[in-house]
């Protein structure tokens, strides 16, 4: 079961302010939500009022991974073009040919 937070008196006051602002959009709520427009409007105002009083989350408490036990990030690796060049013999094939020439 979901437990809902209780609204503080300051949040209740903010909700009523938001309801007054949202009443200007009554026609839009009626068009979008039909018979339940009023409950949706109050739910929207409640959410807006409770969200405003929520404590801000700071990322300052998250440690820097380069300082922690994770260590520094690895440097990027250069990726070379591995497509076969028509004018050059691949190194491994060249070594194999010399090996075959020497050992028969």
17 found inside a domain? yes
Residue 50 has pLDDT above 80, yes or no: yes
% of the chain at pLDDT higher than 90: 30
> pLDDT band at 3, cuts 50/70/90?
confident
Domain that holds residue 19: 9-54
20 found inside a domain? yes
Sheet strands (E) in 25-104: none
Give the count of domains, the chain. Answer: 1
46 found inside a domain? yes
Flag whether the pTM goes above 0.75: no
> pLDDT band at 43, cuts 50/70/90?
very high
22 found inside a domain? yes
41 found inside a domain? yes
Sheet strands (E) in 1-104: none
79 found inside a domain? no
Tens digits of residue pLDDT in 66-95? 666 666 666 666 666 666 666 766 666 677
68 found inside a domain? no
**Contact 81/38 with Cβ under 8 angstroms?**
no
Task: State the Cα–Cα distance between residues 23 and 38, nearest whole angstrom.
Answer: 9
């Amino acid at each position: 079961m979901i437990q809902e937070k209780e609204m503080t008196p300051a949040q209740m006051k903010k909700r009523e302010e938001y309801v007054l602002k949202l009443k200007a959009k009554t026609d839009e709520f009626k068009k979008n939500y039909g018979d339940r427009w009023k409950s949706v409007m109050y739910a929207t105002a409640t959410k807006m009022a409770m969200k405003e009083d929520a404590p801000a989350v700071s990322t300052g408490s998250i440690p820097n991974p380069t300082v922690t036990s994770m260590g520094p990030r690895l440097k990027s690796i250069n990726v070379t073009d591995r497509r076969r060049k028509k004018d050059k013999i691949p190194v491994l094939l060249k070594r194999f040919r010399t090996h075959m020439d020497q050992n028969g």
